[in-house]
Chain A
Amino acid sequence: MSRIVAWMTTCFLVLPILIVIPVSFTPKRYLSMPEGEWSLRHYEVLISGGWLSSIGDSLLVAICSALLALAMGTLFAVGHWRLNNGVTRNLRLLLLLPMIVPPIVHAVAFYQAWSILDLLDTYFGLILVHTMKALPFVVLSVTASLVNLDPRLEQASRSLGASARQTLFYILLPQVRPGMLAGGIFAFITSWDEIIVAIFITSRAVYTLPKRIWDGLFDNVDPAIAALGTIMIILTAIGLLIKDRYEKAQKT
């Protein structure tokens, strides 16, 4: 019985998303189904319209913020793992805060702050915000991969004369590579999909993909979004399948 409900729920989850596929082939300019006539015009718009530049903006911001978050988040996770005292535990709560606070509150906070610092509508300003939002994911992910690491490895390394920096790079980082990879991906996706803060702190100079989609959803629901959605569904499905194969291969 619960199995039926489960499959109904799963269909509810997946089928509506799949509607973007036929919609993307509509010959008309507005959101509609292709009744007999199929057209690639909306895919062409993706290439010729401003969509490519938005994809570029989003890529730039996502890669930069992911790298920054990865660097700082990993450093914190390792330091906290090693020291693990009252101070670092409280600091960890600070590091997790951007994940807990609702995004609209971030929008208010950074709109205010960035207008004072003259960072509105700048790549740097957006990268800073996305880095902060991504940090908790990196910290959690790297911490998870440190849980089973024997602290005596670190002590042994230090006692054999390695500096903290050498220990970090040669002993610890290789161990946390899976955590860093997962954290890095999460950080990238967090920035790539981020919309709420982008709505308020960017306008013309920085025009990320989510912002362009958002604008497209308000004026006249543009079927080019359906084309974009179709591509994203395919890429996500491929990405998940690759991850599945990778994990299966790891197990053997």
Chain B
Amino acid sequence: MQGEAGIASRSSPLGKDTAYWGMVLLPAVFLATLYLVPVISVMVRSVTEPTLGLDNYAVILENKAIRNVLGKTVYICAVTTALTLLFGYATAYAMCRMPEREQRLMFFLVILSFWISVLIRTFAWIAVLQPQGLLNDILIGIGIIDRPLRLVRNDLGVIIGMVHYMLPYAILPLFANMKTIDPTLVPAARALGASPRKAFMTVFLPLSLPGLAGASILVLIFSSGFYITPALLGGGKVVMIAEYISVQMSETLKWGLATSLATVLMLVVLALTIAMSRYMDIGDTGKKT
């Protein structure tokens, strides 16, 4: 069908394609000038400031403080991704097998949390986790603990906040992917004598792996560049790469460092995106065969 349109436009006298080229080029030029140029100039600045060369990248590799930030980022992203996918997969799996009304209710609640702004959600977690917050009040009130638990300004608080934000990004694609798996396959395996566990492990899980891989990479991508929640729940004690970059921009004014870290982050995310596009369709609907 797409081939037909192409052929028709080339050989038929029916109007040139100039109008359509105009439609395509206008937004492209807009982005190329106002978007690409600034983004590329970040990369350029990383190798020209303060001096020409790869000094900034050498600093990233050698400086202990920066290596700590990078290590912390990797650690928190890995834990967040693992927890998110664990609970997200279980949720999506259960949703597939629920009666329709229950499924719709759960879907509504997941989407509701998805649409609430990250600032409101982080605010809510501060209210729940802070030393004088709801959770500590309840635990102290019941008598389980005497002094408040430290749930903010540490890794735990950041991870909780991040998992909370990422869960819908895992549940929704996983659910969409699981829905495409033939629902008669697992019952067929059971009928052939497989235990529920075996049926799941040998039939369902392998079929859901592409969706799982895609969702994992998506969560990893979002986690690595995350700024708001780690900055607020980390309280300055847990610093991830995005916050570190922002400090270079607003306080220390080390533009060479800021741009080089931004470049590293961007390249990592681009690599992950390319990996993800092998498992998930980033909307390339025009190419489906």
Contacts and interface: CB of A to CB of B under 8 A. Distances in A.
B115 A107 contact: no
Contacts of A152: 4
A151 B113 CA distance: 39
Contacts of B127: 19-20, 23, 31, 221, 226
Contacts of A109: 38-39, 41-42, 262
Nearest to B115: A236
A104 B232 contact: no
Contacts of A158: 14-15
A104 B265 contact: yes
A229 B27 contact: no
B252 to A, nearest CB: 14
Interface in B242-289: 242, 245-246, 249-250, 255, 258-259, 262, 265-266, 269-270, 273, 282-283, 285-288
A100 interface: yes
A232 to B, nearest CB: 6
B221 to A, nearest CB: 8
Nearest to B168: A13
B93 interface: yes
A83 interface: yes
A52 interface: no
Nearest to B46: A108
Interface in B57-111: 87-88, 90-91, 93-95, 97-98, 106, 108-111
A144 B141 CA distance: 53
A200 B250 contact: yes
B117 A73 contact: no
A101 B39 contact: yes
B116 A17 contact: yes
Given A79-B23, A147-B285, A100 B116 contact: no
Nearest to A5: B90
B130 A31 contact: yes
Interface stretch (A41-49, A59-67, A90-98): A90-98
A75 B37 CA distance: 22
Contact of B24 (A17, A79, A100, A232): A79
A217 B123 contact: yes
Contacts of B97: 2-3
Given A10-B91, A19-B124, A221-B123, A240 B225 contact: no
B34 A132 contact: yes
B121 interface: yes
B5 A135 contact: no
A39 interface: no
A16 interface: yes
B90 A2 contact: yes
B164 A16 contact: yes
A200 to B, nearest CB: 7
Contacts of B91: 2, 5-6, 9-10
B227 A76 contact: no
Contacts of A196: 227-228
A193 B36 CA distance: 23
A78 B20 contact: yes
A195 B228 CA distance: 8
Contacts of B94: 2-3, 5-7
A19 B137 CA distance: 13
Contact of A155 (B8, B19, B137, B246): B8
Contacts of B22: 79
The 6 closest A-B pairs by CB, nearest first: A102-B225, A164-B19, A79-B23, A6-B94, A113-B38, A79-B24
Given A82-B9, A107-B249, A196-B228, 14 more contacts: A16-B164, A20-B123, A75-B27, A76-B23, A76-B24, A83-B24, A94-B32, A105-B39, A108-B249, A108-B262, A132-B31, A151-B5, A221-B127, A229-B120
23 contacts: A2-B90, A7-B106, A9-B87, A13-B168, A14-B113, A16-B121, A16-B124, A72-B27, A83-B9, A98-B31, A102-B265, A103-B225, A109-B39, A110-B38, A159-B14, A168-B19, A189-B115, A195-B119, A213-B123, A217-B119, A228-B120, A232-B120, A233-B120
